[in-house]
Amino acid sequence: MADVLPYKPRPGEIPTDPGVYRFSDADGRVLYVGKAKNLRQRLSNYFAPLRTLHERTRRMVTTAASVEWTVVATDVDSLQLEYMWIKEFDPPFNVRYKDDKSYPFMAITLADEAPRVMVTRNRKIPGARYFGPYPKVWAVHDTIDLMVKAFPIRTCSDASYRRAMQSGRPCFPGQIGKCGGPCSMTVTIAEHRAMVDDFVAFMAGGDERFKRDLTKRMLAASAGMDYEAAAKYRDKLSAIEAVLGKSALVLSPDEDADLFGVAEDELSAAVHQFVIRGGRVRGVHSLALDKELDISGPELIVQILQRAYGDSTDIPRRVLVPTLPDDAPELELWLRGSRGRKVEIAVAQRGQRAELMRTATLNAQQSLLRHKTRRTSDYVARTQALTDLQEALGMTEAPLRIECFDISHLGGTNVVASMVVFEDGLPRKDQYRSFNIAETTDDTDSMYQVLMRRLARVDSVIDAEEGDDETGARRKPRFAYKPQLLIVDGGQPQVNAAARALRDSGRTDIALCGIAKRLEEIWLPEDDFPVILPRTSEALYLVQRLRDEAHRFAITHQRRRRRRDISTVLSEIPGLGDARIKALLKHFGSVTALRAAAPEQIREVSGIGPTLADTIHAHLAGGQSAGSG
Cα Rg for the chain, rounded, in angstroms?
32
Range ranked top by mean pLDDT from 3-7, 116-120, 151-155: 116-120
Where does the pLDDT of residue 567 fall: very low under 50, low under 70, confident under 90, or very high at 90 and above? low
Separation CA 146–CA 165 (nearest Å): 26
| pLDDT digit string, tens, across residues 97-137 | 765 456 688 888 888 888 888 888 887 788 888 877 776 67
| pLDDT digit string, tens, across residues 362-410 | 888 888 877 776 655 666 777 888 888 888 888 888 898 999 999 887 6
- Whether the CB-CB separation of 524 and 495 falls below 8 Å is answered with yes
Q: Number of helices (H) and strands (E), helices first, in the chain?
A: 21, 19
| 70, 94, 118 - which closes a domain | 94
| pLDDT digit string, tens, across residues 409-465 | 766 667 888 999 998 888 888 889 888 887 777 888 999 999 999 988 886 644 433
> Residue 239: inside a domain, yes or no?
no
> Residue 193: inside a domain, yes or no?
yes
Separation CA 467–CA 480 (nearest Å): 12
Q: Say whether pLDDT at 1 is over 50.
A: no
| pLDDT digit string, tens, across residues 522-531 | 889 888 788 8
The alpha carbon of residue 611 and the mean position of all alpha carbons in its chain are separated, in whole angstroms, by: 50
Q: Say whether pLDDT at 21 is over 90.
A: yes
351 and 482 part of one domain:
no
> Residue 211: inside a domain, yes or no?
no
Range of the domain at 66: 19-94
Q: Give me the pLDDT at residue 561, please.
A: 65
Q: Compute how many other C-beta atoms are within 10 angstroms of the C-beta atom of residue 3.
A: 9
* Span of 53-57, 78-82, 195-199 with lowest mean pLDDT: 53-57
DSSP 248-259: -B-S-TT--EEE
535 and 583 part of one domain:
no
Q: Give me the pLDDT at residue 466, please.
A: 39
> Residue 114: inside a domain, yes or no?
yes
Q: Say whether pLDDT at 629 is over 50.
A: no
Q: Give me the pLDDT at residue 321, please.
A: 92
Separation CA 214–CA 234 (nearest Å): 8
Separation CA 565–CA 571 (nearest Å): 10
353 and 383 part of one domain:
no
524 and 443 part of one domain:
yes
Closest CA to 276 of 459, 132, 426, 443: 132
Separation CA 244–CA 249 (nearest Å): 8
Report the CATH number that the domain containing residue 52 is assigned in CATH: 3.40.1440.10
Q: Say whether pLDDT at 476 is over 70.
A: no
The alpha carbon of residue 572 and the mean position of all alpha carbons in its chain are separated, in whole angstroms, by: 45
299 and 332 part of one domain:
yes
More confident residue, 333 or 214: 333
Contacts of 332 (CB under 8 A, 6+ apart): 342, 343, 344, 345
Closest CA to 97 of 338, 371, 344, 348: 371
Among residues of the chain, what percentage have pLDDT more than 70? 84
| pLDDT digit string, tens, across residues 27-79 | 888 999 999 889 999 898 898 887 777 767 887 888 889 999 999 888 888 88
Contacts of 365 (CB under 8 A, 6+ apart): 263, 270
> Residue 219: inside a domain, yes or no?
no
- The SS3 assignment for 556 reads helix
Range ranked top by mean pLDDT from 65-74, 278-287, 292-301, 598-607: 65-74
410 and 385 part of one domain:
yes
| 142, 173, 205 - which closes a domain | 205
Amino acid making up residue 284: V
Q: Once rounded to an integer, what is the mean pLDDT over residues 498-513?
A: 91
- The SS3 assignment for 15 reads coil
> Residue 309: inside a domain, yes or no?
yes
394 and 540 part of one domain:
yes
Contacts of 430 (CB under 8 A, 6+ apart): 478
151 and 180 part of one domain:
yes
Its sign, for the CA torsion 102, 106, 110, 115, is positive
> Residue 252: inside a domain, yes or no?
no
Number of domains in the chain: 5
Q: Give me the pLDDT at residue 2, please.
A: 55
Report the CATH number that the domain containing residue 324 is assigned in CATH: 3.30.420.10
Cβ burial, residue 422 (10 Å; 0-12/13-18/19+): buried
More confident residue, 546 or 563: 546
Q: Give me the pLDDT at residue 75, please.
A: 84
Separation CA 602–CA 162 (nearest Å): 79
| pLDDT digit string, tens, across residues 266-288 | 777 888 888 888 777 777 778 88
272 and 349 part of one domain:
yes
365 and 400 part of one domain:
no
Separation CA 339–CA 86 (nearest Å): 22
Q: Once rounded to an integer, what is the mean pLDDT over residues 556-565?
A: 66
Separation CA 81–CA 88 (nearest Å): 10
More confident residue, 561 or 126: 126
544 and 617 part of one domain:
no
551 and 618 part of one domain:
no
Q: What order of strands is seen across the sheet that includes strand 30-36?
A: 30-36, 19-24, 66-71
- Whether the CB-CB separation of 287 and 99 falls below 8 Å is answered with yes
